[in-house]
Amino acid sequence: MKAATYWRNSFNPFEVKSEEKFEKKTAMTFQDLWNNYEESYFPTLESSSQIVKRFRIMSFFKEIKDLDVNDITPEFLEYLLRKKKKEVKSDITSRRCNFNKPLKELKAIFNWYIENYNYKFRNPVLKRHYVQGVIRAIQKKEKVLKQEQLLKFFKAFDNSLYQDFAIIQFFCAARFGEIAGMQLKNIDLKNKSLLIKEVVVEDHSKRFLELKLYPKNGHPRAVAITSEIFFNALFRRLALSTDGCSYLFHKEQKPLSYRSVQYHYNKALAKAGLFPQFSSTHILRYSMATESRRVMGSLDAAQAITGHHSIKMIEQYARLPDKLQNETISRVGQELQKSWDGVELARTVGTSWDGKVDF
């Protein structure tokens, strides 16, 4: 009786109707949700991040785009993952190992939906889906070249353009895009310094998209040219620079593509007997960070080289005072220089240095 009395006194028909209207209003297909997500959230992202998000969601988009958001349940995702795994296993060219990244993207979109449209909605992406999405174990590759391996790698190049690219990437502990986008105006050989600022951005098909005006962490990074090996590679490139082209590395006045650099890196690695255990371009960033830590005996040295703000990130790889960075690059260069006489440089013509620089 008390419950009936409470209901009679507290019941508000307008609240029920309002809630029903709210549920009806927020009902939408995943295609609608995605369109709203792109329109509202994408303007806050870098163009490269937008490309990554679009690519990841395409793994599931065809199957879910016409579904009502409320019909995308944990059970449906289990069915979808089973279907997708069969497709991958039947494709002998596929290298996919799991669906972790598409699931992570899907979860982020649903979280955005909850925050902006329906706070009662429960995100259907659960931990178990990441387990169910595993196709095969990820084959881990080596990331750090030891000193003798580095020397073999540098020696194996048959093209001076890509050899110098590799040397400069190593001493800068840089990402591919930072060296591909390096501008002539940011290199000062007289004062033995360069600035990592502009970055080449490519789409998922590895086609040039744009020249971004700042690196990944948003802060330009100065690098000391305190190694003779480093200096000589930069000088060779500057001597071969072309009027009207602002890039240090270019082909027909266009920046080098990731695919071309990767091809020549893997070719040199294979010639040095280091492929396929080593591949990609990022190994040089890892290697310089690790070599810096080995030579200098501290994580601070590796952080000074890579420009990471977090020491936790440095621990995965192996902005402090310039003095430490100068000494680190110099010491690593000296270590390599001991065996550098055996490294034959790919033929480069038309280069001669009439200045004087002491190392």
Same domain, 126 and 158: no
Is 123 within a domain?
yes
CA distance 308 to 314: 7
Which of 186, 215, 353 minimizes the C-alpha distance to 285?
215
| pLDDT for 324 | 77
Is 357 inside any structural domain?
A: no
Task: Show the low-confidence residues of the chain (pLDDT under 50).
Answer: 14, 16-25, 319-321
Question: Does residue 256 sit in the same domain as residue 123?
Answer: no
The pair of three-digit structure tokens given for residue 98, joined into one six-digit string = 């799991």
Do 239 and 181 share a structural domain?
yes
CB crowding 31-53: b at 16 or more within 10 Å, else e:
eebbebbeeeeeeeeeebebbbb
Q: Note whether 111 and 81 are within 8 A (CB).
A: no
Q: Residue 79: name the closest of 124, 30, 28 by CA.
A: 124
Q: Is 19 helix (H, G, I), strand (E, B) or coil?
A: helix
| Residue-level pLDDT at 347 | 64
Let me know whether 70 and 154 are in one domain. Answer: no
Same domain, 153 and 122: no
Question: For position 297, what pLDDT does the model report?
Answer: 76
Q: Is the peptide bond before 321 cis (omega within 30 degrees of 0)?
A: no
Instruction: Tell me the per-residue pLDDT of 113-147, one tens digit each, with 9 for 90 and over.
Output: 999 999 999 999 999 999 999 999 998 888 999 99
Contacts of 93 (CB under 8 A, 6+ apart): none
Q: Which amino acid appears at position 320 of this protein?
A: L
Looking at the fold, whether 57 and 160 belong to one and the same domain comes out as: no
Count of the separate structural domains present in the chain: 2
pLDDT of residue 254: 95
| Chain mean position to CA 332 | 25
User: Is 141 part of any domain?
Assistant: no
> Residue 5 falls within a domain, yes or no?
no
Q: Which residues contact 184 (CB under 8 A, 6 or more apart)?
A: 238, 241, 246, 247, 248
Q: Does 111 lie in the same domain as 44?
A: yes
Residues in the chain: 359
**Distance between start and end Cα atoms, the chain:** 94
CATH number at residue 209: 1.10.443.10
289 is written with which tokens? 């960070």
CATH number at residue 39: 1.10.150.130
Q: 353 in a domain, yes or no?
A: no
Residue ending a domain, among 101, 132, 163, is: 132
Question: Which residue is listed with tokens 């297909």?
Answer: 29
Residue 6 lies in a domain: no
What pLDDT sits at residue 312?
59
**Same domain membership, residue 59 and residue 116:** yes
Q: What would the pLDDT profile of 221-258 be if each residue is shown by its tens digit?
A: 999 999 999 999 999 999 999 899 999 999 999 999 99
Report pTM: 0.78
Q: Please tell me whether residues 87 and 153 are part of one structural domain.
A: no
**Domain end point (choices 132, 160, 180):** 132
Q: Are residues 233 and 167 in the same domain?
A: yes
| Domain contains 142 | no
In a domain, 7, yes or no: no
At 60, list the tokens: 């599931």
Q: What's the pLDDT at 287?
A: 93
State which residues form the domain around 62.
Answer: 19-132
Task: Identify the pLDDT of residue 354.
Answer: 52
Which of 71, 97, 132 is the C-terminal boundary of a domain? Answer: 132
In this structure, the answer to whether residues 179 and 317 fall within a common structural domain is yes
Q: What pLDDT score does 21 carry?
A: 44
Q: What is the pLDDT of residue 319?
A: 41
What is the structure's pLDDT at 291? 87
**Do residue 195 and residue 317 come from a single domain?**
yes
Single-letter amino acid, residue 46: E
